Amino acid sequence: MTAFDDGPARLSVGLSICLAVAAALVLPVPVAVAIGFVGAALLNAGALLGAVRIVGYGTAVLLFAVVLAGLQGSGPVPLVASTLFALLAWDASRYGIRIGRQLGRGADTARVELAHTAMSTAVGATGAGLGYAAYRVADAGGSAPVAALALLFFGGVVLVATFR
Amino acid sequence: MPDVTDHETGHWRGVGGAAVLLGGAAVLFRVPGLALAAVVAVAFAGYASGVGPVEAGGDDAGLTIRRRLSDRTPAPGDEVRVTVEVRNEGDGALPDVRVVDGVPADLAVADGSPRHAASLRPGGATTFTYAVRAVRGAHDWRPAAVTVAGPSGAVERETTVETATSLECALPAAGAPAVPVRALTARRPGRVATDSAGAGVEFHSTREYQPGDPIDRIDWRRRAKTGDLGTVDFRRERAATVVLVVDARAAAYVAPEAGAAHAVERSVAAANRVFGALLDAGDSVGIAAIGRAGEDCWLAPGVGEDHRARGRALLRTHPVLSPRPPEKARYDSFKADRAAELRRRRIDRIRERLPPNTQIMFFSPVCDDRAAAIVRRFDAAGAPVTVLSPDPTTDREPHFELAAMERADRLDALRREGIRVLDWDDSLTAALARAAARWSA
Amino acid sequence: MIGGRTQWAALAAVAAGLALAALGPRVSLGGEYLYVGVVLTALAAMVVGGASAIHRRSEDGSIWLPAERETGIQVPTPGADLATAPDHRIKRRIRRQVVAALDCAPEEAEARIDAGAWTDDPLAATYLSSDRTVSRARRLVAFLRGDRIEDRARRRAVAALRALRGEGDA
């Protein structure tokens, strides 16, 4: 009889490692990729150790890398993809850590982990798709698009702030 | 009514900050691509807060649980396989159901895991299985702890689901395989071979065969020599009087590893087998125990079926022999010399009740010096002692190995003083057979 | 912290933004003033969002943590008390066993232990000896290996004791 092993669930950790590395690789600016790798390394370390805070720091670094890539003139598609992968990695690793603490590695949790990550991917991809569609619409010249974006952004953030 | 608790896990905490970071940078530096990235984060934020706890089917989330046991009346130490089915009887889909089954407090899980997770659509079910090691007594399953999480993982609804399941573990009726007890009691004062002739072990004489004599006493040597049939007579032996003393002090509750049967369980199981076997052999057997405070554990030596039933009931249910260890050692709170005196008196009380010519069989792991002191005190009073010691030691770590060496030395010291010691690990029967060869030599 | 009306206002802002985006080039708004307004809007949004994020961080997220169900009745393993005992107590018990195992008078046995002459293993010998202490080089090697030096020394001492008793790889 073995002691209860409450380490992070393996499938989720594996998924998050792949996603974090992908988030770094997808950026077109070398400096951003380098910083992205640092972030991915932090995120993966946190995922393997079961430390949620370190996963958070790693994700923050990955997002800084996205901003940097944007400032260096990256197109919107890599930025969106990197953000999506980074947030999915964050989600998967936090989920894996929590499930591991609750049910342990000995329990068969693969199906729920896959279901959770699949749902999150669907949500994120939908958001990315809708946003990209709006971007193509707003791409047609003038100062109005910037105003449009600002309003969208303000409204969206306030909405987020009112949520739990 | 099960207790329902909602946990806000904070799973998506920080996504809002990510949206702010990306969106703010987008606007400040006029990079539209970053605004799109921000939209992804906003989408997750909306997902996290938009979906509340799963409100399906009332307090137990519409879940039912069923258990199947491979054996409802096992013997101590047997593994019982438990198969659990969790079914979603409600109308809503439950994408994330996590279960921890309510294994009874005294049973350890020997194989598999009582924890499981599944996605259940309405009417769907999931099954998982694990094994527990049986321990004496009646055990009831506790309610299974269940959590139903929303798909985003932001909220977990904790509740319980139960069904009545129980297990009754009793000592087996001692019978097969028979314990070769003759070796334990032969050639001891009290079991004196008499001068009268008949059934027994030691050769006495031969005589003419008479119709009706038992076949297993025919003298084949005489037949080979002379062709006549003769019957061998042995020295008839008197029945022995034996008291089985079980060491159930706090120090005896030790086991080689978590989940293994501890020494008191093994001692009680062995005492149960020896009790039955000695009664079968015609001896008068009693039971005593040394352990926690409370009702005295004592059954005076006797014979017969009623007595057998009383002895088995005692071993099965007496509180001093409980599978659960006592909170602390009995005399720990006394001053040293008072404690020593109380310990001596405890042994003397048992000694005083022993009929003359009683043999003692002491079941103890002998993992502390006091156990050896108990043996010596009985021995000094003139009662011949046989020590039957289950080995609870392991050599996994150096300090465990050290304890194993100290135990071996204790047993050797007792042997040097002429006390019979039987040290067994796996099979009591095999150890007895080995001992029989040693002791009759 | 923020009520339902603000939510409607925010939704309205999002809708207006989408509308503007759709109308796009057909609407021309006032140049530089617009840009300043946009920056101020963005800063305000960041403040609101940041404040809200900080507000939420101060509440702890709770998760479901089910109680342990696997262990059953817990009893110690013989010798477990030694695991947490101070080092000198363990040393004393090992010494006692070595003295018992050595086939000579107690005083001579003690002398041999102190001199380290009871075993070939240098680490075990040094561990039990009251005259010698473990060299710094050994400590460093143990540290690099990830062991505590006392654990290694104890393991070797017990192994040497086992050999002395003639139990071999029991």
Q: Locate the chain B residue with the closest alpha carbon to C57.
A: B13
Residue B102 has pLDDT above 60, yes or no: yes
Is residue A1 assigned to a domain?
A: no
Is residue A156 within 8 A of residue B42, CB to CB? The reply is: yes
Residues in chain A: 164
Tokens of C73: 């009745």
Q: What domain count does chain A have?
A: 1
Q: Supply the pLDDT for residue B178.
A: 56
Beta strands in B121-154 (DSSP E): 125-133, 137-140, 142-149
**Cα separation, B95 vs A116, whole angstroms:** 8
Find which of B3, B7, B12, B20 to mutate to test the C interface (most C CBs within 10 Å of its CB).
Answer: B20
3-state SS assignment for residue B52: coil
Residues in B touching A29 (Cβ below 8 Å): none
Is residue C73 within 8 A of residue B323, CB to CB? The reply is: yes
* Domains of chain B, each with CATH number or no CATH: 1-170 (2.60.40.10), 193-237 (no CATH), 241-440 (3.40.50)
Distance from CA of B214 to the nearest CA of C (A): 48
What are the tens digits of pLDDT across the range B292-327? 988 889 999 999 899 999 999 999 999 999 999 998
Average pLDDT over residues A23-49: 92
Distance from CA of C135 to the nearest CA of B (A): 22
Q: Which of A2-6, A29-33, B62-66, C53-57 comes out lowest in average pLDDT?
A: C53-57
- Kindly indicate whether the ipTM for this predicted assembly is greater than 0.90, answering yes or no: no
Residues 6+ apart with CB under 8 A from B294: B319, B320
Could you tell me what percent of chain A has a pLDDT over 70? 79
Q: What is the pTM of this model?
A: 0.77
**Cα separation, B143 vs B105, whole angstroms:** 12
Question: What domain range is A94 assigned to?
Answer: 10-162
Instruction: Give which of C155, C123, C142, C98 is closest to B398, Cα–Cα.
Output: C155
Cis peptide upstream of residue B104 (ω within 30 degrees of 0): no
Average pLDDT over residues B121-136: 92
Q: At residue B6, what is the residue type?
A: D
Is residue A26 within 8 A of residue A82, CB to CB? The reply is: yes
Q: Locate the chain C residue with the closest alpha carbon to A103.
A: C66
What are the tens digits of pLDDT across the range A18-34? 999 999 999 998 999 99
Q: Name residues 83-112 of chain C within 8 A of B (Cβ).
A: 83, 90, 93-94, 97, 100
What are the tens digits of pLDDT across the range C104-145? 888 888 888 877 777 888 778 878 776 666 677 777 777 777
Chains that contact A by 3+ CB pairs under 8 Å? Answer: B, C
Q: Is B157 left (phi over 0), alpha (psi -120 to 50) or beta?
A: beta
Is residue B147 within 8 A of residue B136, CB to CB? The reply is: no
Asked if the Cβ–Cβ distance from B20 to C46 is below 8 Å, we say yes
> Residue C48 — pLDDT band, cuts 50, 70, 90?
low
A119 touches chain C (CB under 8 A): no
3-state SS assignment for residue B388: strand
Distance from CA of A84 to the nearest CA of B (A): 7
Residues in A touching C8 (Cβ below 8 Å): none
Q: At residue B428, what is the residue type?
A: L
Look at strands B358-363 and B241-248 and give their pairing.
parallel
Tokens of C39: 């920056």
Is residue A4 assigned to a domain?
A: no
Closest to A153 (Cβ–Cβ): which among B35, B112, B258?
A: B35
Average pLDDT over residues A64-93: 90
Q: Supply the pLDDT for residue B176.
A: 46
Residue C55 has pLDDT above 60, yes or no: no
Closest to A71 (Cβ–Cβ): which among B31, B47, B111?
A: B31
Closest to C42 (Cβ–Cβ): which among A98, A102, A153?
A: A153
Residues in B touching A115 (Cβ below 8 Å): 95-96, 119, 151
Q: At residue A9, what is the residue type?
A: A
Q: Name residues 22-81 of chain C within 8 A of B (Cβ).
A: 38-39, 41-43, 45-46, 49-50, 52-53, 56-57, 59-64, 66-67, 69-80
Say how many CB pairs under 8 Å bridge B and C: 158
- H helix count then E strand count, chain B: 10, 19
A132 touches chain C (CB under 8 A): no
